């Protein structure tokens, strides 16, 4: 993880129920991170996601790119723009993801085969990234 930006926490929720939450503030995220998410999340029409991150210096144009891969092949991509970030700050970033209306893949195929690559950029410069491997339980 970068000295510039550190992911503190990530969570996924449906309405007011938190279905999965991490707390990485006291750990170093190196390599691939396995996460266990309740398979019920796949039945949700919408999923609210929150990323909490700390930033040691000012960033002019923070953006986030997430690439979802199944068996190593890209199946989805999300791009988000955050903009200016104040130095020495802790920030929360929330988004709502709409579920596909049809053609969803079951947890028995996705579990252990799905990865999510998250990359943070300041303009065109990569400043932090991680990869999680999703296991549905």
**Are the beta carbons of 35 and 133 closer than 8 angstroms?**
yes
Flag whether pLDDT at 26 surpasses 60.
no
How far is it, in rounded angstroms, from Cα 70 to Cα 107? 12
Q: pLDDT exceeding 90 applies to what percent of the chain?
A: 47
CA distances from 45 to 28, 96, 100, 116, 128 (A): 33, 10, 8, 20, 30
Higher pLDDT, 16 or 87: 87
Task: Give DSSP secondary structure letters for 48-109.
Answer: EEEEEEEESS-EEEEEEEEEEEETTEEEEEEEEEEEEE-TTEEEEEEEEEEPPSS-PPPHHH
> Average pLDDT, stretch 60-80?
95
CATH topology of domain 5-136: Coagulation Factor XIII; Chain A, domain 1 (2.70.50)
Give me the residue spans of the domains in the chain: 5-136
Percent of the chain exceeding pLDDT 70 equals 91
């Amino acid at each position: 993880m970068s000295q510039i930006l550190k992911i503190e926490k990530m969570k996924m929720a449906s309405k007011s129920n938190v279905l999965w939450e991490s707390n990485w503030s006291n750990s170093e995220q190196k390599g691939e991170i396995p996460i266990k998410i309740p398979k019920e999340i796949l039945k949700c029409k919408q999923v609210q996601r929150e990323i909490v991150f700390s930033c040691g210096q000012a960033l002019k144009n923070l953006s986030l790119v997430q690439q979802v891969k199944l068996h190593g092949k890209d199946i989805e991509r999300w791009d988000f723009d955050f903009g200016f970030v104040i130095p020495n700050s802790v920030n929360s970033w929330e988004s709502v993801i709409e579920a596909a209306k049809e053609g969803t893949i079951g947890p028995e195929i996705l579990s252990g085969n799905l990865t999510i690559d998250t990359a943070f950029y300041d303009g065109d410069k990569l400043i932090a990234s991680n990869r999680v491997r999703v296991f549905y339980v």
